[in-house]
Amino acid sequence: MSRIGKNPIAVPAGVEVKSKDHAVSVKGPKGTLTLDTRGHVDIGINGAVVSVSRFDDSRRSKAYHGLYQRLITNMVKGVKEGFTKELEIQGIGYKAGIEGGGKKLLLNLGYSHPVNFDVPEGITIQTPKPTQILISGADKQLVGQVAANIRSLRPPEPYGGKGVRYLGERVVIKEGKKSTK
C-alpha cells in the first residue's frame, strides 16, 4: 500500500472538508479550494480526519492514491495557513513595484520598457523592498506557477548573475572569455 496515500489527513479547527460526486471541497479562513478526483480514489471523512483509499491495486490506482492524498493535504494547509514564495531581483536598475491596487506587478528588468505582470485571482503579491517579491495564496500549485512565470521574465544569467531568482537560489557564475595575450 502507498506509504503516503494511507496516511490520514488531520483537519484543523476552522477548516471544513466536504466530498460530493468525485469532488473534494475545502473551506477555511484563507479561502475555498476544490479538487476533482475524477473517480480515481474514494474519499472518506470521519469528523476531523480525511482518508483516501483506492478502488483496486492497479498501477494507475496506486499512483493516484498518493497523489490525491498529498493534494488534499496541501489544500487543507493552504486554506488554513497559506503558501508563500519569495523572489529576489539582482541587477543594477532592476526593481519591482505594485500598481492598480495590487492587480499589476510592474517590473524593470533591464529591457527598454517596463514589464507589466497581471496578478491572477487568489494570489497576493507584495514588494517590501524594490528588489524583493513575496507571492502568497492558498493554492500551492498556483503560487509556484506564478513565481515561475515571474522568474521566466528574466531568469538569472550565468555570467553576471543578473535577473530574477528564488530566495536562496544558487546561480553558478561562469568565467568570461580570456584573451590569449
Half-sphere exposure of 61 (CA within 13 A, CB side): 12
Residues 30 and 76 in one domain: yes
Query: Rounded to whole angstroms, what are the CA distances from 60 to 1, 63, 98?
Result: 13, 5, 44
Residues 134 and 159 in one domain: yes
The predicted-structure confidence for 119-137, as pLDDT tens digits, reads as follows: 999 999 999 999 999 999 9
144 within domain boundaries: yes
Residues 6+ apart with CB under 8 A from 112: none
Q: What is the pLDDT averaged over residues 16-38?
A: 93
pTM of the entire predicted model: 0.90
- The SS3 call for residue 181 is coil
65 within domain boundaries: yes
SS3 sequence of 87-151:
EEEECCCCEEEEECCCCEEEEECCCCCCEEEECCCCEEEECCCCCEEEEEECCHHHHHHHHHHHH
Residues 65 and 129 in one domain: no
CATH of the domain at 43: 3.90.930.12
51 within domain boundaries: yes
Residues 99 and 159 in one domain: yes
Element (H, E) at 20: strand 16-20
- For the beta carbon of residue 115, count every other beta carbon within 10 angstroms: 15
Of 80, 99, 127, which closes a domain? 80
Residues 39 and 52 in one domain: yes
For residue 104, give its domain range: 83-166
Residue 48: predicted pLDDT: 92
The predicted-structure confidence for 12-25, as pLDDT tens digits, reads as follows: 999 999 999 889 99
Residue 2: predicted pLDDT: 62
171 within domain boundaries: no
Per the structure, the count of domains in the chain is 2
Q: What is the pLDDT averaged over residues 18-36?
A: 93
